[in-house]
């Protein structure tokens, strides 16, 4: 069978779903690999690098989608791309099955199998295919780099001949995958780093990375924030008030605030209010990684960088992984390659779409003319 990767057509998307290295691995599974010309150019992978790795470079999207049996891409396919699907094709991509009814219906009508990368179950065995985590890790790192690029001072404290420099103070709100990556980057750059999460179990991880966990004066502690599967639940009004009171106290002291707080299937909770922004020092920076879901900061504008009247920079970019396209493509292509390893148990270049496998079942959202989303809960946790 042939695996093909088209050029991403969404404006500003620099990633690619197959790299020369991942193609080498895919060929070991018995597949032939194809890419559309220019597919990897923005991620640093030229057509020649693919050719050297034994990949056939085709000159149009039509040729790519027409020839490949399995299409691996990054972004949710457009209507035009979905039109290329046929019943014998398998598409592996981000697909947003819960919010993409049109795409789901189109894939179903075509009879194609769609594996949605955001649906990979978050169980230990599937970590190597967990593209949400690999991309969140990059976003957390890049958020700190963007903050540093917009901050007029060092992160680390220094004693120099020209004067003593205090360390920057960084607050990370939300200590999931992106938040922990931001904490690790911030502490390694030498900033005094604080972190808060509604899930109390992350305090130990936060502290093991050299940051200080922010506790609230609240009777039930952070305990009411944890829901199932390690995700957060909506906080009670009392808890939220205690959280906002703590943030109000911290806001004037913080130089950089990185917000990453999300609750599954909801708009991002608003946690950094206008009065908190107003109380921050000029030159402070907020990076809102929740911008795509409405933002954790009241004044965030998605995809923009704004500077407030009191000199606070608020960054609401939603394309952090794409801003590090070589790294993110390498990790995403590896996630896809692992998915294909599980889909090819006999290493014979043929997909065995085993719907009894928890991971494959969980990620498959259309199959054989049926919508197979949402999946049943995984048997193994």
130 is catalytic: yes
Answer positive or negative: Cα dihedral of 255, 163, 141, 6: positive
Measured between alpha carbons, how far is 360 from 265 in angstroms, rounded to an integer? 22
5 vs 260 by CB, closer to ligand NAD = 260
124 is catalytic: no
User: Could you tell me which of 98, 33, 56, 379 has the C-alpha nearest to residue 266?
Assistant: 98
Integer-rounded Cα Rg, in Å, for the chain is 22
Instruction: Exactly one of 75, 122, 248, 323 is catalytic; name it.
Output: 122
4 vs 295 by CB, closer to ligand NAD = 295
Instruction: Report the interface residues with ligand NAD, using CB under 6 A.
Output: 122-124, 127, 130, 133, 136, 173-179, 196-199, 230-232, 235, 260-264, 269, 271
What single DSSP character describes residue 235?
Answer: P
Contacts of 55 (CB under 8 A, 6+ apart): 18, 20, 23, 33, 34, 35
Question: Least Å distance between CB 236 and ligand NAD?
Answer: 11
Answer positive or negative: Cα dihedral of 41, 317, 324, 146: positive
125 is catalytic: no
Measured between alpha carbons, how far is 280 from 272 in angstroms, rounded to an integer? 11
Question: Least Å distance between CB 222 and ligand NAD?
Answer: 9
4 vs 140 by CB, closer to ligand NAD = 140
Question: Least Å distance between CB 47 and ligand NAD?
Answer: 34
- Burial class from Cβ neighbours inside 10 Å (0-12, 13-18, 19+) for residue 379 reads exposed
Instruction: Exactly one of 231, 240, 342, 357 is catalytic; name it.
Output: 231
Question: Least Å distance between CB 215 and ligand NAD?
Answer: 13
Instruction: Exactly one of 133, 186, 235, 243 is catalytic; name it.
Output: 133
122 is catalytic: yes
20 vs 121 by CB, closer to ligand NAD = 121
Question: Least Å distance between CB 381 and ligand NAD?
Answer: 9
Measured between alpha carbons, how far is 56 from 24 in angstroms, rounded to an integer? 12
Instruction: Exactly one of 130, 255, 288, 358 is catalytic; name it.
Output: 130
Question: Least Å distance between CB 261 and ligand NAD?
Answer: 3
DSSP state string for 59-119: S-HHHHHHH-SEEE-SSPPPHHHHHT--TT-EEEE---GGG-HHHHHHHHHHT-EEEEGGG
153 vs 266 by CB, closer to ligand NAD = 266
Characterise 190 by phi-psi region: left (phi > 0), alpha (psi -120 to 50), beta (else).
left
127 is catalytic: yes
201 vs 370 by CB, closer to ligand NAD = 201
Three-class SS state of 333: helix
Measured between alpha carbons, how far is 176 from 137 in angstroms, rounded to an integer? 9
Instruction: Exactly one of 127, 158, 236, 381 is catalytic; name it.
Output: 127
Three-class SS state of 267: coil
Residues identified as active-site: 122, 127, 130, 133, 231
């Amino acid at each position: 069978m042939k695996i093909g990767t088209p050029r991403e057509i969404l404006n500003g998307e620099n990633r690619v779903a197959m790299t020369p290295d991942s193609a080498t691995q895919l060929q070991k599974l018995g597949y032939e690999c194809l890419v559309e010309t220019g597919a990897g150019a923005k991620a640093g992978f030229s057509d020649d690098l693919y050719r050297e790795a034994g990949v056939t470079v085709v000159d149009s999207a039509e040729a790519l989608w027409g020839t490949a049996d399995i299409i691996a891409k990054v972004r949710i396919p457009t209507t035009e791309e979905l039109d290329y699907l046929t019943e014998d094709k398998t598409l592996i991509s981000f697909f947003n099955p819960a919010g993409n009814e049109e795409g789901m219906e189109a894939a179903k009508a075509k009879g194609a199998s769609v594996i949605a990368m955001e649906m990979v179950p978050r169980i230990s065995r599937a970590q190597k295919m967990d593209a949400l985590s690999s991309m969140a890790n990059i976003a957390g790192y890049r958020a700190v780099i963007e903050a540093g690029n917009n901050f007029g001072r060092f992160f680390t404290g220094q004693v120099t001949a020209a004067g003593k420099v205090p360390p920057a103070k960084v607050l990370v709100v939300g200590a999931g995958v992106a938040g922990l990556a931001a904490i690790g980057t911030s502490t390694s750059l030498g900033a005094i780093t604080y972190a808060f999460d509604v899930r109390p179990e992350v305090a130990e991880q936060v502290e093991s990375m050299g940051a200080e966990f922010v506790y609230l004066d609240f009777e039930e502690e952070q305990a009411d924030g944890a829901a199932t599967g390690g995700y957060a639940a909506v906080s009670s009004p009392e808890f939220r008030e205690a959280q906002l009171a703590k943030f109000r106290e911290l806001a004037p002291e913080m130089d950089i605030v990185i917000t990453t707080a999300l609750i599954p299937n909801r708009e991002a909770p608003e946690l950094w209010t206008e009065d908190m922004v107003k109380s921050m020092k000029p030159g402070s920076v907020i990076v809102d990684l929740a911008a795509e879901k409405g933002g954790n900061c009241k004044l965030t504008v998605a995809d923009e960088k704004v500077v407030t009247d009191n000199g606070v920079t608020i960054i609401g970019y939603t394309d952090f992984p794409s801003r590090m396209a070589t790294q993110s493509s390498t990790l995403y292509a590896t996630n896809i390659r692992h998915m294909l390893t599980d889909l090819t148990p006999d290493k014979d270049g043929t997909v065995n779409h085993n719907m009894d496998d928890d991971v494959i079942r969980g990620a498959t959202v259309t199959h054989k003319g049926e919508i197979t989303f949402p999946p049943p809960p995984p048997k193994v946790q």
